[in-house]
Amino acid sequence: MALLHSLEKEGNWLFKHRGQLPLILFILAIPAVLSTSYDDLTPVQVKAFNYTAYFLSILGFIVRSYTIGTTPRGTSGRNTEEQVAEQLNHSGIYSIVRHPLYLGNYLMWIGIVLFTKNIEFTIIVSLMYWLYYERIMFAEERFLERKFGQSYLEWAKGVPAFVPSFGLFKKSSISFAMKSVLRRE
């Protein structure tokens, strides 16, 4: 099987099971917490870790909420059986990053991981997250390319996959709806 097809197959499988990541992360956190020595940290360092962790987790929640609250129905959902996209999102947060929900997830999780105050664990989780979601993003992008063709390719060419480019922002035609966030999250 060609690598292209293998990555897509793995991505689709991971897409269906992406809800289990928090359980795996929780299990991995136990030995990280137990093996971390907190004796070397000053109170200032502990506060710095905690405030950074709070900030990143809250920022991730805001990114996810804004994405959900300004995205049309039939897109960017919690579906797990198959990819769904009734239309191509290219404004609002999708004008600055192609995968804002996964960016939000990463920020929330890395914030939680920072509470362990274990830099090695934070790096390992970041690498595991990248390997995990890289395949999911690959599968999603293959789906969108098949569904929307050249329109998708043009948009994707100008918008980064994971690290936002704030200078590209185009206001969404959909107003933020907290009701949508509460219903869909």
| Structural domains in the chain, sorted by start | 3-32+42-184 (1.20.120)
| pLDDT (0 to 100) of residue 75 | 65
| pLDDT (0 to 100) of residue 88 | 82
Taking the C-alpha atoms of residue 63 and residue 45, their distance in angstroms, rounded to an integer, is 27
| pLDDT (0 to 100) of residue 86 | 66
Burial 95-112 (b: 16+ CB within 10 A, else e): bbbbbbbbbbbbbbbbbb
Q: Give the pLDDT means over successive 10-residue stretches in the chain (185 positions).
A: 78 77 78 83 93 97 92 63 71 93 94 91 91 90 91 94 93 80 72
**pTM to 2 decimal places:** 0.85
| pLDDT (0 to 100) of residue 90 | 84
| pLDDT (0 to 100) of residue 27 | 86
- List 92's β-bridge partners, or say none: 170
- Residue written as token pair 């939000």: 104
| pLDDT (0 to 100) of residue 48 | 94
Q: Which residues contact 51 (CB under 8 A, 6 or more apart)?
A: none
| pLDDT (0 to 100) of residue 15 | 79
16-25: Cβ within 8 A, 24+ apart: 16/80, 16/81, 17/80, 18/80, 18/132, 18/136, 19/80, 21/132, 22/109, 25/109, 25/113, 25/125
